[in-house]
Structure 1
Amino acid sequence: MRPSRTTQMVLFLALCAFTVVNLTPIIWAFMTSIKQPVDAFSVPPKLIFTPTFEFHYQVWVEKEFWRFLINSAVIAISTVCISVPIGTMAAFALSRMRGGGSRGILFGLLAMRMFPHILLAIPFFVLAQWLSLIDTYPMMIMALVAINQPFTIWMMRSFFMDVPLELDEAARIDGCNLWQVFYQVALPVVRPGLWITSLFSLLLAYNEFLFALVLTGPNTKTLPVAIAEYGAEDLNYWSLSAAAAIGIMLPIVLFMMALQRHLVRGLAFGAVKG
């Protein structure tokens, strides 16, 4: 049964209001990044002003934020390339396990994910120092894979649970082994969910601050750590911080726009059964 036009209009207006509320901080940050500090912090706020991209130039050229963008991209992409394949295979196995054995494993993974990251930062730092891996890509990637793996497994398992067991049984009758059932039968079905899981894993790694603050250094500093250096009492730093924040969001926004079709399919995957 379709909702009435009045209900559709109310839902549309509510969605527009929700969108405006969520976009207001982003719009305000962008306006701050193209204003001079005297205009950005005037009371009342100036809506008519002469825009300037001076702070964007300072951030990406003079402050060399492009180096930090490369570090963030290398760490985030490497984390996805490692954690998603491992998590996908583990999720398929857990979705096909009989009995209550999988529940204990899943509960343990969930407990690991819920564990406060601040308590894990010190052991990771001690381990990195012992292995002489402070300020290196491998240590940061290993730490992010470790803390994000439970999320990947739980999310991919939910997609595999929507794949009928009859498909597995039909493939086994046709002579497929377990690996072929996973790779040739189940994985193509959950491909939209694989895109969604990869995107969220990328976002988690790209936005990680605490572990990046502890484990990185001048050579591997990421964007969240770099942007945290600006603020304080100098108003110019707030404009630089706003310009950097807008720059940090752009790669993710462009990436999501490019994968919009896969995102819609992934979010809708499993919503309708039958």
Structure 2
Amino acid sequence: MMFNSNKTNKPSFNSSSIIIYFFIFLWVFLAAFPFIWTFWGSFKVELDFFSIANWTNAITGENTKQTYGSPFTFVGYHGAWVQEEFWKAFINTSLVCFFVVLTSLTIGTLGAYALSRSNYKYTFWLLIMALIFRSMPPITLVAGYLPPFFEWNLWGILPTTIIVLVSINQPFTLWMLHSFFQNIPKELDESAKVDGCSQYKAFGHVIVPVMWPGIITTGLFSFLLAYNDFAVTAMLLSDENRTMVPQIAAFLGTTYTEGNVMFAVAAVVSATVPLFILIMFFQTKIVSGLTQGAVKG
């Protein structure tokens, strides 16, 4: 009997794999559709984007074409960034996120490293207290900060908001970095000390370079917590010092003021694009930090 050895191996698709791929595609579509729709609608006028009589106007841009001679317009972006000076909120957000991440990682790496190398019983209870503190709703913590901030004229400025965000996010940073340090063998510290390094040099020159995936991952999560925060920034910042999320909410208007929905739509897209770029740039480090811990013991 002769067998054909030139048969090519083709990927086989059975019913189970088809179902799996279908649900994956469905999940990706449901997750991406709101942003795609918002991005597309940010170049339309409000009559098209919120058209009830004919939803296809949001796709074709009939009213936008009648008003501006083109189915696409940058009026929403111009109004948000130039007319309403959304760039100020972008700068404020960048400053808040930078100092929150810098402070949280500085305190978190030192504290987590000390706790991971400590043999005292209080280490466990400190981590439990940090976890309890982090599980509390941020709004309950902000209420305690308001009276002294008003009394000392510290309300409405960026530094106080940074301090509050650091205090809220620090337990999460401590827990996450502690888990990464636990995966680093203590033999690395001992080897560095044998080579003449002090405890601080061993930490800075040996442990931290190995920890970079974990530090970047933790820093990114701290950044996202500060970047997307609304409760703290809305309560502690004045109108002049708003970050992007409260400013977007202000674009929608209140009971007493009229807003502009298309300014808010354009601002939402503008605030989302930096996150997309950041995730794409650090995706390998994030995956490495989440899946591998830091090193394999």
- Which TM-score applies when normalising by structure 1? 0.90
Tell whether the 8 Å contact from 2:210 to 2:294 is kept in structure 1 after alignment: no
How far off is 1:264 after superposition? 3.0
Tell whether the 8 Å contact from 2:184 to 2:295 is kept in structure 1 after alignment: no
**Aligned: 1:20 with 2:41:** no
Corresponding residue pairs, total: 272
SS of match in other structure, 1:98: coil
Distance 1:142 1:209 in 2: 15
Tell whether the 8 Å contact from 1:171 to 1:181 is kept in structure 2 after alignment: yes
Tell whether the 8 Å contact from 2:109 to 2:174 is kept in structure 1 after alignment: yes
Structure number with the bigger relative contact order (C-alpha 8 A, sep ≥ 6) is: 1
Distance 2:188 2:285 in 1: 23
Mean CA deviation greater in 59-68 or 211-220: 211-220
**Hey, what does 1:188 align to over in structure 2?**
209
**Hey, what does 1:69 align to over in structure 2?**
90
**Hey, what does 2:44 align to over in structure 1?**
35
Distance 2:294 2:168 in 1: 28
Residue 229 to residue 235, structure 1, CA distance change in 2 (3 Å): closer
**Aligned: 1:162 with 2:183:** yes
Read off the aligned partner of 1:40 and give its amino acid letter. F
Distance 1:272 1:21 in 2: 35
Q: Deviations over 1:68-99 (max 9, x none)?
A: 10011111101111111110110111111214
Q: 1:130 aligns with which of 145, 151, 156?
A: 151
**Hey, what does 1:213 align to over in structure 2?**
234
Residue 236 to residue 121, structure 1, CA distance change in 2 (3 Å): closer
What's the Cα RMSD here?
2.4
**Hey, what does 2:287 align to over in structure 1?**
264
**Hey, what does 1:103 align to over in structure 2?**
124
**Structure possessing the higher radius of gyration over alpha carbons:** 2
How far off is 1:201 after superposition? 0.7
In percent, how many aligned pairs have the same letter?
34
Tell whether the 8 Å contact from 1:136 to 1:219 is kept in structure 2 after alignment: no
Tell whether the 8 Å contact from 1:196 to 1:267 is kept in structure 2 after alignment: yes
Mean CA deviation greater in 94-103 or 52-61: 94-103
Tell whether the 8 Å contact from 2:213 to 2:294 is kept in structure 1 after alignment: no
Read off the aligned partner of 1:35 and give its amino acid letter. K
Q: 1:228 aligns with which of 249, 258, 262?
A: 249
**Hey, what does 2:60 align to over in structure 1?**
48
Gaps of 5+ in 1: none
Tell whether the 8 Å contact from 2:177 to 2:215 is kept in structure 1 after alignment: yes
Residue 183 to residue 272, structure 1, CA distance change in 2 (3 Å): closer
Residue 265 to residue 8, structure 1, CA distance change in 2 (3 Å): farther
Read off the aligned partner of 1:14 and give its amino acid letter. F
Residue 225 to residue 99, structure 1, CA distance change in 2 (3 Å): same
